[in-house]
Structure 1
């Protein structure tokens, strides 16, 4: 990776010891079956992030100040199974350091390793999958670590909730829990799907986002784009509600297949990642703002807080 720090942030906010957040790139594209290029996703993402404004208007915060450590990329590609084991080990190592661990692929098979690590470390885990595809095959093309199998293991070992599904093989109907699957065509006419999905989640939630969950009108640069996907603000509304009501323990984002002639998808991925961090750490940002105001007024609260004290 050319980038020395996430989003080009200063070393002050990029050290492992002081960072609350870890970012693990996984430039892997070993099992994709149509368009190749997801291995270039992390580099395109980091390049877009470095050219993105770091003040989030909605949350009035600069979440990078919580510290984001850019870990060494997981580059194991000798086999899908070896890659999954390497991702599992790297992810678990940083969770054990009490970091908020995030991973960027690469294609969706990397999530087998990330989900396995979070399931090892957090009890009663919900895996929230945002995806166009079910990815529930037990095995595909001779491997259980194929992108088409990305959440099969999660369906057996965690509370899997699937959002935005609109493409699958008939064999996957034998595995899928339809009570916890939100098909895109149903979501389009159901105003209650967000609350319903959240009600089915346990307290600890890991989010895996395949970028093809988005409609290709706003996210064309994926390996297997599918019409009829989610749009930007409805996705943010849902994610914000999940972060507010549940303990999101980490997330991964996969399947950015960059197009050198159109950078909009790279920036959508970069913005999505930053928005999710902003939602996760909004309370810390408020606390930091309070402490800053407290310090600047020589130990007394500023007028914004004094007004509240008058009541």
Structure 2
């Protein structure tokens, strides 16, 4: 269903920006965007590698969404930043197949230089933020980035040739204060404002 909806958005010359859900929801949108842009690259912010080939007996899970994206785009086209949790096997696999940078977003200038001019799907798992500032997520992992670090990197990333994007893994019920929801909405707003710049005379945002 997500793939079909993303295809409808693309066919209408609009930019698919998906929000919400656990990270597996990104896969449908990535499939749709990759059909239109065969040279698709992926920029991925997350606390977790998401590179498991199988988890809990299935190949389709939030723990393996980037592995399934790799099935689509192949080697050297996925940049992973902020990663601080994963199996040893995932980190070893990433050395051969993705550009994985641990713990923070300091590799963003390097990623930007490599992705400039290429069609990019930008996926942000909000648990890349430290749970001290973003507790409203299903799999919190301490040692994350600050809100300001994520906001600045997200805005920078939206200066690339973004052809699809999402922000995922907000779970409002896990943060009764509403602070996590407010953080997610602020990131969403700033990304939309940045994405609008090159699309003023082109595709409309949805």
- Please indicate, yes or no, whether the TM-score normalized by the shorter chain is above 0.5: yes
Listed as ranges, the matches of 1:216-227 within 5 Å are: 216-227=131-142
Aligned position for 1:256: 170
Pick from 88, 92, 113 the counterpart of residue 170 of structure 1: 88
Determine helix, strand or coil for the equivalent of 1:176: helix
Structure 2 CA distance, aligned partners of 1:101 and 1:154? 17
Structure 2 CA distance, aligned partners of 1:173 and 1:239? 24
**265-274 or 171-180: which moved more?**
171-180
Which has the higher Rg, Structure 1 or Structure 2?
A: 1
Determine helix, strand or coil for the equivalent of 1:177: helix
2:115 pairs with 1:197: no
Higher relative contact order (CA 8 A, sep 6+): 2
Q: Is the 8 A contact 1:88 1:117 kept in 2?
A: yes
Determine helix, strand or coil for the equivalent of 1:198: helix
Q: TM-score, normalised by structure 2?
A: 0.86
Pick from 176, 181, 186 the counterpart of residue 100 of structure 2: 181
Structure 2 CA distance, aligned partners of 1:284 and 1:105? 23
Deviations 1:18-64 (A, max 9, x none): xxxxxxxxxxxxxxxxxxxxxxxxxxxxxxxxxxxxxxxxxxxxxxx
Aligned position for 2:18: 103
| TM superposition shift of 1:236 | 2.4
Q: Is the 8 A contact 2:84 2:102 kept in 1?
A: yes
Q: Matched residue pairs, number?
A: 195
2:53 pairs with 1:138: yes
| TM superposition shift of 1:284 | 5.8
Pick from 106, 113, 127 the counterpart of residue 212 of structure 1: 127
Q: Is the 8 A contact 2:154 2:187 kept in 1?
A: no
Unaligned regions of 5+ residues in structure 2, if any? 202-206
Deviations 1:195-250 (A, max 9, x none): 11212225111111111001112111000111111112222222222222x21112
Q: TM-score, normalised by structure 1?
A: 0.59
Unaligned regions of 5+ residues in structure 1, if any? 1-85, 288-311
